[in-house]
Amino acid sequence: MKVRVFCGAMLSYISGSMCAVCFPGVKCGRDGSVDNHMEMGKKLLAAGQLADALSHFHAAVDGDPKNYLAYYRRATVFLAMGKSKSALPDLSKVIELKPDFTSARLQRGNLLLKQGRLDEAESDLKKVLKSNPSDKEEKEAQSQLTKSDEIQRLVAQARSSFHSQDYVTAAAQLDGIIETCVWDVTSREMRAECFIQMGEMGKAISDLKAASKLKNDNTQAFYKLSIIYYNLGDHEMSLNEVRECLKLDPDHKQCYSHYKLVKKLNKQIQSAEELMQEQRYEDAVSKYEAVMKTEPNVRHFTLFAKQRICHALAQGQQASRAVSVCGEVLQADPENVNVLKDRAEAYIQEEQYEEAIKDYETAAQHSENDRQIKEGLERAQRLLKQSQKRDYYKILGVKRTAQKKEIIRAYRKLAQQWHPDNFQDPDEKKKAEKKFIDIAQAKEVLTDPEMRTKFDHGEDPMDPESQHHQNFHRGFHGFQGFNPFGSGPFNFKFNFN
């Protein structure tokens, strides 16, 4: 196998003995080597081994630069490999060496027609008809000439429509042209501009990508692609395309200017996301605010930055600001599932459970199988139900984000305030006792990590009806058995630790 690969690549340079190893039975000396290459090339082409066939025809052309059949066979291989750009010069060389070679002229005419070079194509096709072609060749040339005439008419109409700014009509006319002239760069670039004006950016991108491949050094196509991606908010693709432009022309003014802007924006966004990963949410907010200052005119970047700020604020427990920023994004993009989830979380932090439920329900309509939405909705519903009963945070007057020290401090203050010894009237004392028990239970739940986690997820560890009640921490068996006052008659020897 290695010998065969070596032979395919080096055939025109090796000795007769090595050629005999590669292709037994083939005469490979200097005399008659071109004929041998031609014969082997034909056999390999028929067998579909295009790369090997091409190597032989390269060798044949090198061996005899005036052998028109060698050029023709090589052009045939190029066409079979889809390399029309390489085939065209070979067909032209065939016609130069043998002007009456009808098949080569017909093939060249077809290629020129596909490239949109209509006048040159028509010239070849008309010469075919004058050269005593076969019936098949005559029929094909006549058909292609008819197509060319129709395309000439469409080109004139498309240009007129385009200059009249009737982009919809122009695009439809260009469709007809490109259907035949599939490699016509000018028509594709014009249709891309129509699509841009029509707001159909996906179609414009498709045409410009084709144009960038069909025409060498097409810096303008790469520049336009970069601008489109930028305006769509895709900073990474914009950066990729503008770099392709600068590879072709490092001094391209438009591309270099745009490159500096996109690179700056790209760096800011990457930096902001790194801060987000490190949970440095306030710094991430500042970085995304800088993104909006860098590019205030592209709506996609503004919305994206606000979306990420919304997320950072929700994660950073800045619920009030999060609700406001998330709301701004949802005004422009009401179906943004990620923002709906973030605002719902912020509403939960603000204890606005009904609003959180609405956001989760809206998000679920647009993302049915999102587990995070399902769990968030269930949590918000539990918390709403819980808030309609006892809320230990409210009892102690602390936020849901309060640390253990804050909870104990609030508990001590309230326990001293509502200690039953402070009240003489029997009714007031009874009321104080109930309040005192609530305060003690709140402290018990919120200073125990396991019980607090359960409470935060909508379960009340002090509720005797709770399915988790039997596992209640420290042996307390429900509300009935909880006595913060000690044993016997109320002696109120209470420990405020």
pTM: 0.67
pLDDT, position 134: 92
Residue 3's pLDDT band, with cuts at 50, 70 and 90, is very low
Tell me: pLDDT of 28 over 90: no
Question: Which amino acid is it at 172?
Answer: A
Residue 348's pLDDT band, with cuts at 50, 70 and 90, is very high
The CA-atom distances, in angstroms, between 467 and each of 392, 461, 475 are 19, 9, 16
Measured between its terminal Cα atoms, the distance across the chain in Å is 85
Range of lowest pLDDT (59-68, 98-107, 482-491): 482-491
Q: How many CA atoms lie within 13 A of 421 on its CB side?
A: 9
Task: Tell me the C-alpha distance between 155 and 174, whole Å.
Answer: 7
240-249 long-range contacts, Cβ below 8 Å, gap at least 24? 244/212, 245/219, 248/217, 248/218, 248/219, 248/222, 249/217, 249/219
Q: What angle do CA 330, 335, 337 make, to 5 degrees?
A: 90
pLDDT, position 465: 60
Determine the topology of domain 392-481 in CATH.
Helix Hairpins (1.10.287)
pLDDT, position 197: 95
The DSSP code sequence of 172-183 is HHHHHHHHH-TT
Determine the topology of domain 2-145 in CATH.
1.25.40
What would the pLDDT profile of 249-267 be if each residue is shown by its tens digit? 999 999 999 999 999 999 9
pLDDT, position 369: 87
What would the pLDDT profile of 111-128 be if each residue is shown by its tens digit? 999 999 999 999 999 999
Give 9's contacts (C-beta < 8 A, 6+ positions apart).
55
Tell me: pLDDT of 15 over 90: no
Residue 9's pLDDT band, with cuts at 50, 70 and 90, is very low
Tokens of 352: 């606005």
What would the pLDDT profile of 415-467 be if each residue is shown by its tens digit? 999 999 888 888 888 888 988 998 999 999 999 999 999 888 878 888 766 54
Per the prediction, the chain carries an average pLDDT of 86
The CA-atom distances, in angstroms, between 339 and each of 14, 313, 364 are 68, 11, 12
What would the pLDDT profile of 205-248 be if each residue is shown by its tens digit? 999 999 999 988 999 999 999 999 999 999 999 999 999 999 99
The CA-atom distances, in angstroms, between 297 and each of 137, 226, 292 are 58, 16, 9
What would the pLDDT profile of 216-226 be if each residue is shown by its tens digit? 899 999 999 99
Sequence ranges of the domains in the chain? 2-145, 392-481
Q: What is the separation of C-alpha 35 from the centre of its chain, rounded to a whole number of angstroms? A: 54
Give 255's contacts (C-beta < 8 A, 6+ positions apart).
219, 222, 223, 226, 242, 245, 246, 249
> Would you give the DSSP letter of residue 474?
G
